[in-house]
Amino acid sequence: MKIGIDVGGTKCLGVAVDDSGKVVQQYRLPTPHADALCDTLVEIVAQLGEFKFIGIGVPGLISPEGVIRASPNLVGAKELALRQMVEDRLGKKVLVENDATCAALGEWKSGAAHGATDAWVITLGTGIGGGFISGSVLQRGAHGFAGEVGHMVVDPDGPLCPCGRKGCWERYASGNGLSFLANGEKGEDVLSRAKAGAADALGVVDTFAKWVALGLVNLTNMTDPDVIVVGGGVIVSADVVMPRIAHWFEQLLYSPQHRAHPRLVAAQLGEQAGAIGAAMLNTSV
């Protein structure tokens, strides 16, 4: 049995995964202040039972040594040596990785990107998480910080981002971005009105889809993937959103008639993607 835990801004979700990759149990607790994070993780592990390996996914900049360098959505988490702390408490090997990188690993090993040699897994949530596989290798970059696509600037004169710059992709193409484009209406409300056929909501979703596609085209120009997996809360309404993203992707792609197009698909593992991927971190070398 292996355990994976996805540390989110509000909750920590742990799963126990058997040798075939199947989730056999899950347990969640609210995310505490960083001072108590190790205690919470140990409690989740205790609830999930015996295991050979534990992997942890955390949002933010995570060093290869498992140190949380900075994590804007985790209160108090700065230069926190989480891997060492949890290993000391449990006496077993632990790996800590960026949460979006974990989600990419999960979708690649047992979800919508299974079998791909080159793939992006993009999660549209509060912000945008990104992870990618190139040449059948999960990419981490020189310092572990690869795939921070949410802060790719797509509009230098756009709205201010918490990262301190203007017009980051996630200002437009995340769940929060959808709400911004709808003048503050909740993203889920826009989507349900769009599903019911409301013309103004469909217009907002179309604009949103164009922003999503713009970023995906940029990623395609950089890495030439064979599949792009799109997940996150917005994709619960995949039937409304995905065809529009695909439409704009075709419109915006560079030299579309002279190349194979990547497949755009909805994520399959839902909110468990990061935890499942974390449980597989020891197979990701």
Q: Which is nearer to Zn ion, 124 or 265 (CB)?
A: 124
- Cα distance between residue 134 and residue 29, in whole Å: 34
d(CA 62, CA 97): 6
Shortest distance, position 245 Cβ to Zn ion, whole Å: 21
Question: Rounded to the nearest whole angstrom, what is the least distance from the CB of residue 20 to Zn ion in the complex?
Answer: 39
CB of 93 to Zn ion, least distance (A): 34
Using CB under 5 A, list all residues that contact Zn ion: 151, 161, 163, 168
Residue whose CB is less far from Zn ion, 41 or 149: 149
Whichever of 42 and 161 has its CB closer to Zn ion, that residue is 161
Residue among 231, 232, 226, 218 nearest 263 (CA): 226
Using the minimum distance from each CB to Zn ion, give the nearer residue, 29 or 163.
163
Distance in Å, CB of 163 to Zn ion, minimum: 3
